[in-house]
Amino acid sequence: MRTCYILSLLASVSAAPAFVFHSSIKDQVYKSSGFDSRSLLESIPPPEDGKKNVIFVLERTDDGAEALSILASAKKLQKIETLPYEAHPHVSKIDSVTNIIRQVDILSGRKGSASSTPLSSLSDALYAKNEGSKVRKSTYVVKVSQESAGDIDSVVNSVLSRSDVSSVLLTAIRSFSEAKAERLQKLDRKPKANRARRLDQAAADDAYNGFDGSRYYVSMTLNILAVFSFSSFLLCLPLLVSGAWAELLVRRFLLISLLLLDGRHRSK
């Protein structure tokens, strides 16, 4: 069965899956290409006149896993299985409800067009007419707790039956493992960029002044700058303070410096 096949794929990926429901979707469509959160939100049609879009975002489980895949593998989305939807098995960079709201505002061009609401207050929010607001709310983002995750199948089915709802997105916060993998990838790219920058600098020096293998480059970090400034101050100290006090301060500084260098040597 196609639905079971898609759900099994959703349960096997590291990033968060997503279901998109809209009246223009007449069948169960599977998107094989990877999306990030912004691309996913761009694919959702803006709400029709007088209607709202609703985005459900499931919290992580206690062990940091992505929750929607677990519900799918446990066959707890039986009502959703019968509905027409667009399935995205691998959506990256779904970090928080706040980030989703920010991206919806950017895409709509109106700050405040999206807002978060608790699941228990969603019906009241949809009925609200935004009478006291200058910006018309077009999207409500609902963060679903672990305690309420088991009811999301019925909740989504109920919201889709409302006449004042245009589109529904069901997704989840990505797992800790995906977030950690992305951080490691960024760290792996940094040394390569630094090495490339040093090679470019060396090539420029070679072309301009001739090669000198005894030269190397050290960034002027705050620590180096602080040591240089403090050392300059100590060299000038005898000119400012005379007598035994200046000699005592210089000896203390030299002793502390020797201890720090010895500690760094032992740590290596």
Q: What is the pLDDT of residue 232?
A: 64
* Chain centroid offset of residue 208 CA: 43
The H-assigned helical ranges of 213-243 are 222-240
Q: How far apart, in whole angstroms, are the C-alpha atoms of residue 14 and residue 179?
A: 10
Structure token pair of residue 220: 């002027």
CA distance 187 to 232: 36
251 shares a domain with 201:
no
From CA 89, how far away is CA 13, in angstroms rounded?
7
Number of domains in the chain: 3
- CB 72, CB 10: distance < 8 Å: yes
Residues 115 and 161 in one domain: yes
Q: Could you tell me if 35 and 131 lie in one domain?
A: yes
Nearest to 167 by CA among 3, 18, 23: 23
Same domain flag for 168 and 268: no
Residues 102, 181 within the same domain = no
> pLDDT per residue over 62-120, tens digit each?
888 889 988 988 889 999 989 999 999 888 889 899 999 999 999 988 888 999 999 99
- Kindly tell me if the per-residue pLDDT of 195 is higher than 70: no
Q: Binning pLDDT at 50, 70 and 90, where does residue 12 land?
A: very low
Same domain, yes or no: 160 and 89: yes
Average pLDDT over residues 4-17: 56
Q: For residue 25, what are the domain limits? A: 2-174
Q: Classify strands 165-172 and 114-116 as parallel, antiparallel or unpaired.
A: unpaired
Backbone angles phi, psi at 171, to 5 degrees: -150, -165
Q: How far does CA 24 lie from the centroid of its chain?
A: 30
- Phi-psi sector, 50: left (phi>0), alpha (psi -120 to 50), beta: left
Q: Round the average pLDDT of the chain to a whole number and report it.
A: 77
Q: Which pair of structure tokens corresponds to residue 83?
A: 């509905």
Residue 245: what pLDDT? 62
Residues 32 and 158 in one domain: yes
Do 14 and 60 lie in one domain? The reply is yes
Yes or no: say if 26 and 84 are a contact pair by the CB < 8 Å rule: yes
Are 171 and 39 contacting, i.e. CB atoms less than 8 angstroms apart?
no
pTM of the model: 0.65
CA distance 89 to 20: 11
Q: Is residue 241 domain-shared with residue 207, that is, in the same domain? A: no
**What is the reported pLDDT for 158?**
94
Same domain for 148 and 240? Answer: no
- The pLDDT, as a whole number, for residue 140 is 95
pLDDT digits (tens, 9 = 90+) for 135-193: 578 899 999 999 999 999 999 999 999 999 999 999 999 887 776 776 777 677 666 55
Asked if residue 124 lies in contact with residue 99, where contact means CB atoms within 8 angstroms, the answer is no
Domain boundary among 158, 174, 190: 174
Could you say which of 148, 174, 200 is where a domain stops? 174
Q: Which two tokens stand for residue 108?
A: 């709509």
Whether 21 and 144 map to the same domain: the answer is yes
**Looking at the structure, do residues 94 and 200 belong to the same domain, yes or no?**
no
Residue 92: CB atoms within 10 A of its CB come to: 19
What lies within 8 Å, CB to CB, of 16 at 6+ separation is 66, 68, 69, 91, 92, 94, 171, 172, 173, 174, 175, 178
